[in-house]
Chains A and B, each alone.
Chain A
Amino acid sequence: MVLAVALAVVGCDDGAETPAPAEKAPAAGQAEAPAKAPPPPKSFDAGTLKADAETIALVPSPAEMEKALSGAGIDAKLGEMIKDRDIKMDVDNKDQIAVRTGVVLADLVLTVKDADKAQVLARLNRLKAGFEKLGAGTDVQATIDELATQVDNDAITRDKLLQEMDELSGVMVPELEYEAGEWVVPLIHAGSWLEGAHLVSGALKAEGKYNAADAMLKQPAVVDYFIKYVNREGGDKAPDEVVKRLRETLNTLKEVAAKPTLGQEEVETIHSSTGAVLSML
C-alpha cells in the first residue's frame, strides 16, 4: 500500500503529455526532490465500523453451519436430518413466503448431493415459486429452470450442482432486487438460518456435545438482524400465525444468545423454538 502513490504517478495510458513528477529529471544544480510521501494506511475506529456496517455477508449459510459441525468433531449430516416435507408457497403473507423460500433453499443446499432426482426437482420448483411470489424477476427463475432441466437430463454432476446452488444462495439471492421490498433478503436468510440452527441444535442434542454450542449457535448479531426486519415499520400487518411465532422464536433466541455460554438447556430451547416455526410451514 505504501507504494500506491508512486505507482499511481508512473505514466498514463491516455497519451497525457505531462510527465509524472517521478519521471522528471532534476534540473542542473538542483537536488532531487524527495518522493511524495505515501498516505498513511487508512484506519477505522469502532464507531465508524459500527455505524457503516452492512449486513449482506453477516449470516452463515447452512452449508457453512454443517462444516462447522464437522470441524467440531460432530459427524451428523444435516441433509439426512431434514424432514421430507413439501413446503408450498400457497400463502399470501410475503414475510412467510420469504421464510419458506429460505427454508427450501437451505434444504436444497444441504441435500443436493444425495437426494434423489425427484426430490431435487420438487425443491427447485418450490424455490422458483417462492421467488416468483416475491417478485424476484425472471433471471433467477430462468436459472432455476436451467438447473432443473440439467438435473432432469442427468446433465450436471451433483458436485457441480452443489456449486451452482452455493452460488445461487450466496451470491445471486442477496443481489436480486425484489418487488416486495429490501426486507426479502433478510427474511430468506432467516428461513435458511432457522433451518440450519434447528438441524445443528438437533445434532448437538443427539450426540450430547453441548460444549460445542457456543461456537455453533451463539450468534446474537444474526438474531438481532432478523428481528430488525421482522419488526420493521410498514411490514406485512396481516395477521399471520407463522410470522407471530417467528417473532416469538427470535425473541427467545435473543435471550438465549445473550447468555455467557450455551449448554444443554439453551441448545434444547433453540431446537424446540426453531422447530415450532418450521413445523408450521
Chain B
Amino acid sequence: MRMLRTLLPLLALAGGGPALADQKEADTCLRTKIWSGYDDGWAVRTATSADLGEGEHRIYLVTLYAGHEYKFQVCGDNQIDNVDLVLHDQAGKELSRDASSDREPVLTYKPQKTDTYYVAVYAADVSDQAKGAKAGVAMAVTYR
C-alpha cells in the first residue's frame, strides 16, 4: 500500500492549469483497484497520473504479450464526469474502447500477437464546476 505515499506528493506537484483536482481521490480509487486485483491474479505493469482539461488526452505506448490478459483501468477525480479509454494497434487501428460514460473506465484485452500498442486516455467531459480547469486522472496497466 505504498503507492499512495509516493504518488500523492507527485500528483500534488503535477503541473498545469488551476489544479482544483482532488487527485487523492483518483489515486486512492486506482490503488484500491490494483490491490483488489491481486486477489484475482492480476499484477501491475505500471501506474501513472496526469492532469487533463476537457478534450485533452494522454497516450501511452505499451508492449503487450500474446496470451496475457491485460486490464487498463482509469480513475478520474470528482472534477471529471467521463473519461474514455481507447486501445490502438501499432498502425493506429482502433481495437477497442470502453463502453462506459463515467470516470472509471476499464478496458480488457488479450492480444493475439506480442507487439506494441497505444492506449489513449481522453477527458471527454469535465464537470460543469471544473470547466476550464484540470482534473486528476490516474491510469494503471495490469496483467494476468
Residues of B within 8 A of A4 (CB): 81-82, 101, 124-125
A12 to B128, CA, bound (A): 8
B32 beta carbon closer than 8 Å to chain A: no
Chain B 72-106 interface 0/1 with A at a Cβ cutoff of 8 Å (1 = within): 00000000011010101001101001111100000
Kindly state whether residue B29 has any CB partner on chain A within 8 Å.
no
Task: Give A56 to B44 CA distance when docked, in angstroms.
Answer: 13
Q: How far is the CA of A63 from the CA of B42 in the complex (A)?
A: 12
**B12 on the interface (CB 8 Å rule)?**
no
Q: Judging by beta carbons under 8 Å apart, are A57 and B46 in contact? A: yes
B92 contacts A170, C-beta separation under 8 Å: no
One of A23-31, A47-55, A95-103, A272-280 at the interface: A47-55
User: Min CB distance, A161 to chain B, in Å?
Assistant: 12
Secondary structure class of chain A's binding surface, majority of residues: helix
Looking at the assembled complex, report how far the CB atom of B83 sits from the nearest CB atom of chain A, in whole angstroms: 10
Separation of A20 and B115 alpha carbons in the complex (Å)? 46
Tell yes or no: B62 within 8 A of A by CB: yes
Contacting pair A64 B43 (CB below 8 A): yes
Please name all residues of chain A whose beta carbon is closer than 8 Å to the beta carbon of B3 when the two chains form the complex: 167, 171-172
Contact yes or no, A166 B44, CB < 8 A: yes
Chain B residues within an 8 Å CB radius of A32? none
Q: Complex: how many Å from CA A7 to CA B103? A: 12
Q: Which residues of chain A in 161-176 are interfacial with respect to chain B, using CB atoms and an 8 Å cutoff?
A: 163-164, 166-168, 170-172, 174-176
Please measure, in the bound complex, the distance between the C-alpha atom of A58 and the C-alpha atom of B5, giving whole angstroms: 24
- The 0/1 profile, CB within 8 Å of A marked 1, for residues 54-84 of chain B is 0001111111011110000000000001101
Given contacts A4-B125, A8-B82, A49-B88, contact A171 B66 (CB under 8 A): no
- Whether a CB of chain A sits under 8 angstroms from the CB of B127 is yes
Interchain CB contact (< 8 A) of A218 among B7, B45, B58, B114 = B114
Measured between beta carbons, the chain B residues less than 8 angstroms from A45 are 92
Q: Is the CB of A172 within 8 A of B6?
A: yes
Bound-complex Cα distance A63 to B44 (A): 10
With A42-B124, A164-B2 as known contacts, state yes or no: A174 contacts B48, CB within 8 Å.
yes
Contact pick for B10, options A41, A67, A72, A177, CB 8 Å: A177
Assembled-state Cα–Cα distance A174/B88 (Å): 23
The minimal Cβ–Cβ distance linking A33 to chain B, given in whole angstroms, is 19
Q: Which residues of B contact A60 (CB under 8 A)?
A: 45, 63, 65
Chain A positions near chain B (C-beta within 8 angstroms): 1-5, 7-9, 12, 14, 16, 39, 41-50, 52-61, 63-64, 67-68, 71-72, 139-140, 143, 163-164, 166-168, 170-172, 174-177, 214-216, 218-219, 221-222
A sample of 18 inter-chain contacts (CB < 8 A) reads A4-B101, A12-B128, A16-B128, A42-B120, A53-B59, A54-B48, A54-B61, A57-B141, A58-B63, A60-B45, A64-B65, A67-B68, A68-B65, A139-B6, A143-B2, A166-B44, A170-B44, A215-B113
